[in-house]
Amino acid sequence: MRMSMIPKSLRKATEFIIHRCPKDHLKWGNLRRLNPVSRVFGYDRGKPIDRYYIESFLKRHSDDIKGRVLEIGDPGYTREFGGSKVERADVLHAIEGNPEATIVGDLSTGKGIPRSAFDCMILTQTLLCIYEVREAVANVYSALKPGGVLLATFPGISQISRYDMDRWGDYWRFTTLSAQKMFGNVFPPEMIEVKAHGNVLVAVSFLHGLATEELTSNELDFHDPDYEVLITVRAVKPEE
């Protein structure tokens, strides 16, 4: 890009960056490669980096995980973070064949999912796999009891989930702005809390499939708003 094409307001800053970051300054090491370190999100190396943020989010809101709780796929997080506060743990799966599923249903249509039934719904890394994502959010709202809480997570920066892509699809990546607008079309905006997690080091590490254990807590917890690796949403259905 020619400097003349850069707006005058940004030209000085751009010249400064070019001066401070000569091309030979960067040392790629073993990250200069065309294939990632791991194609399974780092599961083969330890805890995937996105799980660090997911589990921190659920722990922070563990008081919400109580009563009748719905989770996708298996009840692992319901048990871990809800404990004795959970009276009934339901598991939703889209198709028959999951022995842990108590409900076979479709979030995109609402088919098979009871209305006003759940005190809490845990949707970790789920909405990216639903093409009709707006309809899914509306059906989640309908499935919650008045006062019920949705705890949802989804990727901002991520590789494709090949497992999901080859079965039911991997459709979406989000930003905090798109999440706020999408949930705000259904939940009252003041009842929604949207947060992003990550930074450039976390983004590069996650794309390469490195594990949580390969970064420090300071590196993981540093927040750069321009690198939204994982997005979390807490949304509450109003009391009637």
Q: What is the pLDDT of residues 122-178, one digit of tens each?
A: 999 999 999 999 999 999 999 999 999 999 999 999 999 999 999 999 999 999 999
Asked if the model's pLDDT at residue 18 lies above 60, the reply is: no
Instruction: Give the per-residue pLDDT at 51.
Output: 98
Asked if the model's pLDDT at residue 71 lies above 90, the reply is: yes
Give the DSSP letter of residue 199.
-
Asked if the model's pLDDT at residue 6 lies above 70, the reply is: no
Q: What is the pLDDT of residues 20-30, one digit of tens each?
A: 555 667 788 88
Instruction: Give the per-residue pLDDT at 34.
Output: 95
* Sign of the C-alpha dihedral computed for residues 29, 30, 35 and 39 taken in this order: negative
Instruction: Give the per-residue pLDDT at 97.
Output: 86
Instruction: Give the per-residue pLDDT at 20.
Output: 59
pLDDT band at 58 (very low <50, low <70, confident <90, very high): very high
What number of other Cβ atoms are within 10 A of residue 157's Cβ? 20
Candidates 102, 71, 68; CA nearest to 87 is 68
Q: What is the pTM of this model?
A: 0.89
Residue 84, both tokens: 């004795």
Asked if the model's pLDDT at residue 207 lies above 60, the reply is: yes
Write the single-letter amino acid at 141.
Y
Asked if the model's pLDDT at residue 116 lies above 80, the reply is: yes
